[in-house]
Structure 1
């Protein structure tokens, strides 16, 4: 089934693993959870030899173990979970994995935007059915959150701080009272949350001031702050994991040279350091320079090499892809990248040669083209 989808949800993609873990799981399970908290953690962080399993469970989210454990404990309580951090830190991926492991459904999602309304988290109406038969439970269209309440499973709310205060206020009553009233109906007009219902929300820490959370809403959530991955070993693992998935999905047989991955990781580390030392926004790239953006650079380079190159990933292609991906403002971002290429990449290419030399040439070519 998953091969027929452009992107299969985690519960479909890892169905065999989840079936296996469920079959051997004898731990206590909160509410209607499909897996015990220990097995949820194992599914997300991967198995170790000491776990004594008959098969290996690969690691799917790379971050501090305590973040995962705190998230699981929160969902076993009656509080919502808010994952907050910079763009590209894996908040949404962690939320999806948690929902997949706990209830085998990660698709009950509301996307927070300026256009998100109260209907998106409560309910709306099938207009044609209302005209024909009047308002009834049959003509009511439940939101993903209401569906999660009725089933006793996890509902997800992406980019909570992008939703307006009215929408956030509606969520307060759901998290507090655990029911939604439907005043348009005379009978059967309350939907109560079943045991196991909870909400995982994500928020971008760079969105402060867009629609700040009220103190009342904050009290309904346990916060788990996901930091930017700065450890090179962890970052390399994440990039390799995602790149392997990309190659498998596109059915591309292409090798990622470790030395080229080192170039990518080092260049992002350099640019992050320069951004941290900058004194104004004009001296910082608009890009958040996250791990997700590294993966984006690599994906662009891999696909370009596969379709327009000789199916070999080269440093020149990586340099062009990096400039093309990160240069979002003109001329500010181009000026920053040009300074980096001349001040850091050029000297390094003379000292270390090989891939850095090709990276220098590809980046210069892209900067000249875009200037």
Structure 2
């Protein structure tokens, strides 16, 4: 694991998964490695009432019903589509579910404008085809086909970013549960084994890019992941994910509660301003998601570690926030400057403390970026 920049969930939490499997006495659907109850426990963490002799930490922060509905869907013969705004934890939840269910979260297709039907079904090893002809040995299965053959979970990220022909390729897989290989005369059908399913994710802001057909929608159960609005839950997410990201740098740091409050309040203020904007020019290009808060905090901590005195300060946090959110010039810079003078400055005069330093750091960052 120390040789991986980012270890898959099933590697990172292998000890937990082994432990849960050893105490799991419930029935399991298909070839699942854990029962639905244990899958939920792995994702949402253990409670005293679970009666375990070790604590399982919470890894995804959200409504319990979303996780339960996702697990129930995967235990049926339907695909699961997690849809929501950027940064709501869709991909993280998909990875956690795949790791808990089949101990393999790496069978992933990334949806882009360049994704082709071959990425969903199969392609060919050209040199082997030239030398021996087309055969099952010269075929290169896609991650989805591999998931079918093994009876495990395949993942499809950003489904609505892929073109309609790629999406159509999923329809027969999800409904018929097999893939035909017309190039072969024999052994030309790959059937899905029990346990196969697909977890797809879609960004709700990509609506209109490549909308899903009604036929494909019918093959999925939709679970909509909302933006986290509860300040306490969002603080837990930001703290948990930031600490995870910093461990790769072997950095253990305590984020001062006052600075975390400033970060959360700043994003809340900017979201409120965006909601009241009358045009796109009055909105930041950033989605202002929880994921972006995590990125801002990680950036500020690393800057403090490498170029400061290792203590996270409000000025550094402000600089990271301005640098991360100012993507357009002059539009975003004008919005951030207005926020500093219209919201942060009065708050600094009234509350003082970290807000004064945050204001100074924000002004310096705006000046440098202008």
TM-score in same-fold range (> 0.5): yes
Give the match's secondary structure for 1:223.
strand
- Give the secondary structure class of the aligned counterpart of 2:2: helix
| Secondary structure of the corresponding residue to residue 199 of structure 1 | strand
Quote the residue 1:70 is aligned against: 69
Deviates more, 1:78-87 or 1:253-262: 253-262
How many residues of Structure 1 are paired with residues of Structure 2 in the alignment?
370
Distance 2:126 2:365 in 1: 52
Shift of residue 3 of structure 1? 1.4
1:353 is displaced (CA, Å) by 1.1
Checking the alignment, whether the CA contact within 8 Å between 1:255 and 1:312 is kept in structure 2 is no
Aligned mates of 1:185, 1:289 — CA distance in 2: 50
1:253 Cα offset (Å): 3.5
C-alpha RMSD over aligned residues: 0.6
Q: Aligned-pair distance for 1:94?
A: 0.2
Alignment of 1:109 onto 2:108: yes
1:243 positional shift: 1.7
Residue pairs, 1:210-289, within 5 angstroms: 210-289=209-288
Give the equivalent residue in structure 2 for 1:343.
342
SS at match of 1:156: strand
Contact 1:341 1:363 in 2 (8 A): yes
Q: Which residue of 1 aligns with 2:145?
A: 146
Q: Distance in 1 between matches of 2:263 and 2:272?
A: 14
Deviation at 1:12, TM superposition (A): 0.4
Cα shift at 1:255: 2.4
> Which consecutive unaligned segments of at least 5 residues does structure 2 have?
none
Give the Cα separation in 2 of the matches to 1:3 and 1:235. 29
TM-score normalised over the length of structure 2:
0.99
Aligned-pair distance for 1:351?
A: 1.1
CA–CA distance in structure 2, aligned partners of residues 148 and 106 of structure 1: 10
Per-residue deviation, residues 194-218 of structure 1 (Å, max 9, x unmatched): 0000000000000000000000000
Would you say the 8 A contact 2:243–2:252 is kept in 1? no
* Cα deviations by residue, 1:175-198 (Å, 9 ceiling, x for unpaired): 011000000011100000000000
Deviation at 1:245, TM superposition (A): 1.1
C-alpha deviation, 1:226, in angstroms: 0.2
Gaps of 5+ in 1: none
CA contact (8 A) 1:11 1:18 kept: yes
Q: CA deviation at 1:246?
A: 2.3
Equivalent-residue separation in structure 1 for 2:348 and 2:11 (angstroms): 45
Deviation at 1:249, TM superposition (A): 1.9
For residues 315-334 of structure 1, what are the structure 2 equivalents within 5 Å? 315-334=314-333
Distance 1:230 1:3 in 2: 35
Structure 1 CA distance for aligned equivalents of residues 293 and 24 of structure 2: 37
Secondary structure at the aligned position of 1:83 is classed as strand
Equivalents in 2 of 1:247, 1:294: separation in Å? 14
Conservation of the 8 A alpha-carbon contact between 2:179 and 2:191: yes
Task: Report what 2:135 is aligned to.
Answer: 136
Is 1:57 matched with 2:56? yes
Task: Return the offset for 1:4.
Answer: 1.2
Q: TM-score, normalised by structure 1?
A: 0.99
Secondary structure of the residue that 2:248 maps to in structure 1?
helix
Deviation digits for residues 61-113 of structure 1 (CA, Å, limit 9, x no counterpart) = 00000000000000000000000000000000000000000000000000000
Q: How much has 1:354 moved relative to structure 2?
A: 1.3
**Secondary structure of residue in 2 paired with 1:34:** coil
Give the equivalent residue in structure 2 for 1:5: 4
